[in-house]
Amino acid sequence: MTVLITGGAGFIGQHLARRLVADGHSVLALDTLLGQVHVDPQASVAAFPGPVIVGDVADASAWTDLPQVNAVVHLAAETGTGQSMYEVERYHRVNVEGTARAGAFAADRGIPLVALSSRAVYGEGRHGCLIHGVAFGAPCCAHTAPEASREADPHHPVSVYGETKSEGEAALGPVGAAVPVTIIRPQNVIGPGQALHNPYTGVLAAFLAMLKEGKPLTLYGAGTQTRDFLHVEDLAALIAWALATPPQPGRPRVLNAGSGVRTTLLELARYAAAGAPVPTYGITHLDIHRAGDIDHACADLTLVRAVGAPLPRWTTADAVADFVAASWDKTGAPASAWDGALGELRERGLTS
Ligand code: UD2
């Protein structure tokens, strides 16, 4: 089949495209080649194993006159949690309107859609409590511990980014009645090809820049925050499965995408330093909290397992090592760019 991948020239899209081509499919990308992500747009186009149509998913005109395709994977999105707190309109336009247009396109053409949402819809997510049972969105009292989020959990986004992803999912409601729709909620996706020039998101890219410059790794807070790091190849395998195994129209499916393993940022720093080919210079703790940042995230994979979707194969340590090895010789933004992005938040009163 021929698959249209919005945002196909980006990190996840390139991996997915190669995976689909290896499986015998053809791919086509619709991508804005946004400067914040694509420092060399021509190289991104050249790397994509199919035609790249330059267009903005939020523009109605980008969706007219597209060639015939058999399925759509909607990846195009604005992804910076902190940046979303002040670029509200831009995030809304791309993530909500763009997703609605992707859904309308799939419904018009009568073809399946796989749309990437985010675990950001859960916000602080599920907490188990000794006294109150389960709490969502925020710990209810001091007796809670974070638990892995399940697909049926309520949405409690704490960032504009998370809100736009939640609204984007809602915009697909009517589409799911007409054509097969799978919504995937990835955790923190890492791996070779990850943006190294975008200081608005991606703690691992920040760590890489610091390691290369022989600087200590900066942790915002104690480093006890947790994330679930998923290797991009594992996400590509899940999306490929979702395309090959569409749900019935009228029964839209939501699936988490994660490793299912909770990793503290301190552990992440250790894995990154272990993968660096130079001695490392420790850790600096910055007493700062970015508005929109959550403390804990981890995916519950019970449903993924139950539907027979592929489970992640990469361990977090190996995934981090793979990223560092593949990215060490690549040019990226200097470590100071992450300080700059933090400064932008500080100026706007979006740190505490
Ligand atoms: C990630 C995704 C985002 C969204 C979200 C879902 C990436 C690149 N971004 O955002 O698209 O899906 O997950 O929840 O995967 N930090 C430091 N030091 C630094 C930089 C960051 O301690 O130098 C902290 C930061 O405060 C946060 C954590 O690292 O607690 C992760 O930040 P991030 O920007 O990598 O990604 P996140 O989880 O906000």
Asked, for residue 278, whether it belongs to a domain, the answer is: yes
Q: Which two tokens stand for residue 287?
A: 């007493």
pTM of the model: 0.96
Report pLDDT digits (tens) over 311-345.
999 999 999 999 999 999 999 999 999 999 999 88
* Model pLDDT, residue 279: 84
Arithmetic mean of pLDDT over the chain: 95
Return the number of other C-beta atoms located less than 10 Å from residue 240's C-beta. Answer: 20
Residues paired with 238 in a beta bridge: none
Q: DSSP string of 211-254? A: HHTTPPEEEESSS--EE-EEEHHHHHHHHHHHHHSPPPTT--EE
Site of tokens 């980006």 = 10
Which residues form the domain of 208?
2-341
Task: Give the closest residue (by CA) to ligand 1 atom 16.
Answer: 203
Asked, for residue 349, whether it belongs to a domain, the answer is: no
> pLDDT class for 137, splitting at 50, 70, 90?
confident
Asked, for residue 223, whether it belongs to a domain, the answer is: yes
Atom of ligand 1 nearest to the CA of 219: 22
Q: Is the pLDDT of residue 350 over 90?
A: no
Question: Are the C-beta atoms of residues 264 and 193 closer than 8 Å to each other?
Answer: no
* Model pLDDT, residue 107: 97
Domain count, the chain: 1
Share of the chain above pLDDT 90, in %: 89
Q: Is the pLDDT of residue 292 over 90?
A: no
Answer yes or no: is the C-beta of 218 below 6 A from any ligand 1 atom: yes
Report pLDDT digits (tens) over 54-86.
999 999 999 999 999 999 999 999 998 889 999
Q: What is the mean pLDDT of residues 106-118?
A: 98
Asked, for residue 350, whether it belongs to a domain, the answer is: no
Looking at residue 294, which CATH number applies to its domain?
3.40.50.720
Asked, for residue 55, whether it belongs to a domain, the answer is: yes
Q: Is the pLDDT of residue 28 over 90?
A: yes
* Model pLDDT, residue 306: 98
Question: Are the C-beta atoms of residues 25 and 3 closer than 8 Å to each other?
Answer: yes
Share of the chain above pLDDT 70, in %: 100
Asked, for residue 346, whether it belongs to a domain, the answer is: no
Q: What is the mean pLDDT of residues 295-303?
A: 97
Measure the CA–CA gap between 56 and 90, rounded to whole angstroms.
Answer: 12
Report pLDDT digits (tens) over 233-243.
999 999 999 99
Atom of ligand 1 nearest to the CA of 338: 23
Asked, for residue 164, whether it belongs to a domain, the answer is: yes
* Model pLDDT, residue 328: 97
Answer yes or no: is the C-beta of 298 below 6 A from any ligand 1 atom: no
Answer yes or no: is the C-beta of 37 below 6 A from any ligand 1 atom: no
* Model pLDDT, residue 198: 87
Asked, for residue 202, whether it belongs to a domain, the answer is: yes
* Model pLDDT, residue 220: 95
Tell me which amino acid residue 222 is.
A
